[in-house]
Amino acid sequence: MLIACVVIVIGLGLLVWSADRFVDGASGIAVNFQVPPLVIGLTIVSLCTSLPEMLVSFLAAIEGNNNLGIGNATGSNIANIGLVLGMTALIAPLAVESKLYKREFPMLFLIMCIALALMLDGDLSRMDGFVLATGLLLLVWWLFKLGVRERDATLEAEFVDVIPDNYDMKTSILWLIVGMVVLLISSRLVVWGAVQVATLLGMSDLIIGLTIVAIGTSLPELVASIMSVLKNQTELAVGNIIGSNMFNIFAVLSMPAFFSPGSFDQETLTRDMPVMFVFTIALFVMAYAFKGPGKISRIKGGLLLAGYIAYLYMLYLQA
């Protein structure tokens, strides 16, 4: 048990580090090809925030474990809102001012409804995976067209800050390769450790995916959100989470659908998907304002975090 826990901690640390290096490398290559920062941010950076979840779900799926990947997808979305936004709002109230974010809320609801419709039969098939992958491509295209057309100044400023502009092509390619290799190794460590813990504790792979793995793979979003509020860019934290949750559903859920199709634990439909909808609706109610800018206060952040702790406690009791 101790070895498995140590492996998970090391794997998650390497996962976060290698994801950043991979994003730096991919972004650096795009910069050398003179791609605008907003385009890089809305495509490469946004997609790569879900890389840890994608690789963990992929490696679990090729080993025939689709519940770990499904739990990772739904659990990460719940953690992103309850844990990440809850903790971030406690540091500083989060403003929701950009029209782009208000338009992304309905898109997130639509994507969640698509995933629910595909899973209602209790089975994730390769056809479902094709639908999810197609949705991912359409999402990237929509974000790209939207960002280029509206030239959202707040988003562009954020991406200029996070995209490296001092990497030559050789350095960018090197970090891309190093990031991908370490991502694969660290993802394998996380999956192995999670399965060992689940086996030793007699817990289901779904519960491990919803808790340990989901929290660990949400660490990049937590760091990004906290850095945003420390830079007084509070509305970026909400936008990062909305975008990450959309990519998680399409990109992460498609992994078990393609590589380990079949039935999954029904608790996903009866417990975890409803909780994900409840947290998303709560975020919408807290963040959206029909007149003037919306705001997630420290009290609301505390409620989100308390709700997430209550969800973890419910999982503990059921496990």
- Predicted pLDDT at 155: 59
Of the given ranges (15-24, 34-43, 240-249), which has the lowest mean pLDDT?
Answer: 34-43
Which residues does residue 95 pair with via DSSP β-bridges, in sequence order?
295
- What is the β-pairing status of strands 123-124 and 262-263? antiparallel
- Predicted pLDDT at 290: 64
- Predicted pLDDT at 165: 67
CA distances to 121, 165, 215, 265, 268 from 116, in Å = 9, 41, 22, 14, 10
Q: Has residue 97 got a pLDDT over 80?
A: no
For domain 2-318, is the CATH number 3.30.70.100? no
Q: Give Cβ neighbours of residue 77 (< 8 Å, ≥ 6 apart).
A: 245, 248, 249, 276, 279, 280
- Predicted pLDDT at 102: 67
In the predicted model, what is the mean pLDDT of the chain? 84
Distance spanning both ends of the chain, measured CA to CA:
17
- Report whether 179 contacts 164 (CB < 8 A): no
Of the given ranges (27-41, 200-214, 216-230, 301-315), which has the lowest mean pLDDT?
Answer: 27-41
d(CA 72, CA 51): 12
Q: What is the mean pLDDT of residues 83-96?
A: 89
- Percent of the chain topping pLDDT 70: 86
pLDDT band at 270 (very low <50, low <70, confident <90, very high): very high
d(CA 104, CA 246): 9
**pLDDT tens digit string along 185-230?**
888 888 888 888 887 888 888 898 898 888 888 877 787 778 777 7
- Predicted pLDDT at 257: 94
Q: What is the mean pLDDT of residues 124-133?
A: 95
Going by C-alpha positions, the residue among 57, 90, 66, 89 that lies closest to residue 216 is: 57
Give the residue with greater pLDDT, 41 vs 141. Answer: 141
Of the given ranges (80-89, 190-199, 222-231, 308-317), which has the lowest mean pLDDT?
Answer: 222-231
Q: Give Cβ neighbours of residue 287 (< 8 Å, ≥ 6 apart).
A: 94, 96, 101, 105, 238, 294, 295, 296
d(CA 45, CA 26): 9
pLDDT band at 5 (very low <50, low <70, confident <90, very high): confident
- Predicted pLDDT at 243: 82
d(CA 281, CA 109): 9
3-state secondary structure (DSSP) of residue 124: strand
- Predicted pLDDT at 258: 94
> pTM for the whole thing?
0.86
- Predicted pLDDT at 264: 93
- Predicted pLDDT at 59: 87
Give the residue with greater pLDDT, 207 vs 153. Answer: 207
CA distances to 140, 143, 244 from 148, in Å = 12, 8, 19
Give the residue with greater pLDDT, 199 vs 151. Answer: 199
Compute the CA torsion angle 286, 289, 292, 294 (nearest 10 deg).
20
Q: Has residue 74 got a pLDDT over 80?
A: yes
- Report whether 88 contacts 308 (CB < 8 A): no
Of the given ranges (45-49, 53-57, 88-92, 189-193), which has the lowest mean pLDDT?
Answer: 45-49
Domains of the chain by residue range = 2-318
Please name the residue ranges forming H helices in 36-168.
37-40, 46-48, 51-62, 66-79, 86-91, 99-119, 126-150, 153-162
d(CA 147, CA 39): 8
Q: What is the mean pLDDT of residues 241-265?
A: 91
Structure tokens at 229: 């509020």
- Report whether 102 contacts 96 (CB < 8 A): yes
Q: Has residue 37 got a pLDDT over 70?
A: no
pLDDT band at 87 (very low <50, low <70, confident <90, very high): very high
- Predicted pLDDT at 318: 85
